[in-house]
Amino acid sequence: MGQWALLAGLGLIAGASGGPVMGLVAAAFAAQGLVYNVPPLRSKDHAYLDVLSESVNNPLRLMLGWAMVDPVTLPPASLLLGAWFGGAFLMGAKRLSEYREIVASHGRDLLARYRASFARYNEISLTASCFVHALLSAMALAIFFIKYRVEYILLLPAVAVLFGKYLAMSMHPASAAQKPETLFAERGLMAIVAVTGMLFAFCTLLDIPALAPLTAQTFIALQ
Where does the chain have alpha helices with state H? Answer: 2-17, 20-37, 49-54, 57-69, 77-106, 111-114, 123-148, 156-170, 187-205
Q: Give Cα 181 distance to the centre of its chain.
A: 16
Domain positions in the chain are 8-215
Q: Are 176 and 185 in contact (CB under 8 A)?
A: yes
Give the C-alpha separation, 44 to 36, whole Å.
5
pTM of the model as a whole: 0.91
- For the chain, the maximum distance between any two Cα atoms, rounded to a whole number of angstroms, is 74
- For residue 55, the model assigns a pLDDT of 96
Res. 195: pLDDT tops 90: yes
- For residue 198, the model assigns a pLDDT of 97
Q: What is the mean pLDDT of the chain?
A: 90
Give the C-alpha separation, 34 to 70, whole Å.
28
Q: Are 76 and 117 in contact (CB under 8 A)?
A: no
Res. 112: pLDDT tops 80: yes
- For residue 4, the model assigns a pLDDT of 64
- For residue 21, the model assigns a pLDDT of 80
pLDDT per position as a tens digit, 48-97: 999 999 999 999 999 988 988 888 888 999 999 999 999 999 999 999 99
Q: Could you give the 3-state DSSP secondary structure of residue 181?
A: helix
pLDDT per position as a tens digit, 141-193: 999 999 999 999 999 999 999 999 999 999 998 899 998 889 999 999 999 99
Res. 13: pLDDT tops 80: no
- For residue 69, the model assigns a pLDDT of 87
What confidence category does residue 1 fall into, taking pLDDT thresholds of 50, 70 and 90?
Answer: low
Residues present in the chain in total: 223
- For residue 150, the model assigns a pLDDT of 94
Q: Could you give the 3-state DSSP secondary structure of residue 174?
A: coil
- Mean per-residue pLDDT, 94-118: 92
- Mean per-residue pLDDT, 192-219: 89
Res. 220: pLDDT tops 80: no
Res. 109: pLDDT tops 90: no
What confidence category does residue 136 fall into, taking pLDDT thresholds of 50, 70 and 90?
Answer: very high
What is the percent of the chain with per-residue pLDDT over 70, rounded to a whole number?
A: 91
Beta carbons within 10 angstroms of residue 206's beta carbon: 9
